[in-house]
Structure 1
Amino acid sequence: MCLVCGYKGLEEPPYDALGNSSFEICSCCGFQFGLDDEDRDYSKEELYKSYREDWIKDGSKPFSESFPNHLIDLNGSLKTPVLHEQLKNLEMIP
């Protein structure tokens, strides 16, 4: 699961048991583990939160053209229930 947007479609976990990054790019939010989380001035959680807030502010549009169309609204953003479900995956919405 993506630790930024809650999307469960990652091909592998963002980090292995030793903490090594997968370098996978989330097809939903576009976050790349091992690249976008390398700012040593902030914790990973702070980086995830900042990236998530920017992604939502920019319309929560899927990063990949191969993202499932049935999850996308006519305006190109994630459908609201889909976004809420993904945020629930992160325990951000009760």
Structure 2
Amino acid sequence: MDDVAYYENGDASFELCSCCGFQFGVDDDVEIEDGIFLSRSEAHDLYRANWLKDGAKIFSGYAFERGQAKGEPLARTVLESQLQNLQVIRKNQTQK
């Protein structure tokens, strides 16, 4: 991303993730019941789970190596690296 997801004061940057298309400040504002919202981390987890379930398709190809185009599934090695960086999975979980 060109900008941070959230500034030090907690405000969202409205930046778009070129990988999954998540927009900080928009997609993390999930109302589950009248006036009740998911926390940011819950919204991130939900969005990520749905993105993975839908095939982990690339939102914007400009940020990826040649051969990785918009709408195609993200290369497994890149996906694993990103999930490790987010601490969603540990390195030894990806080796199968």
TM-score by length of 1: 0.79
Question: Structure 2 vs 1, CA of residues 71 and 60 (structure 1 numbering), >3 Å: closer, same or farther?
Answer: farther
Deviation string for 1:4-49 (max 9, x for gaps)? xxxxxx1111111111111011111000001111125211111000
Distance across 2 between alignment mates of 1:43 and 1:71: 36
Which runs of 4 or more aligned residues in structure 1 lie more than 4 Å from their structure 2 counterparts after TM superposition? none
Render the CA deviation track for 1:25-76: whole Å, top value 9, x for unaligned: 1111000001111125211111000000100111101111423243738x82
Cα RMSD, aligned residues only = 1.9
Unmatched 5+ stretches in structure 2: 31-35, 91-96
| Structure 1 segments unaligned to the other structure (5+ residues) | 1-9
* Residue 49, structure 1, aligned to residue 40, structure 2: no
* Greater Rg over alpha carbons, structure: 2
More strand per residue: 2
Provide the identity percentage. 42
The answer on 1:30 being equivalent to 2:18 is no
TM-score in terms of structure 2 length: 0.78
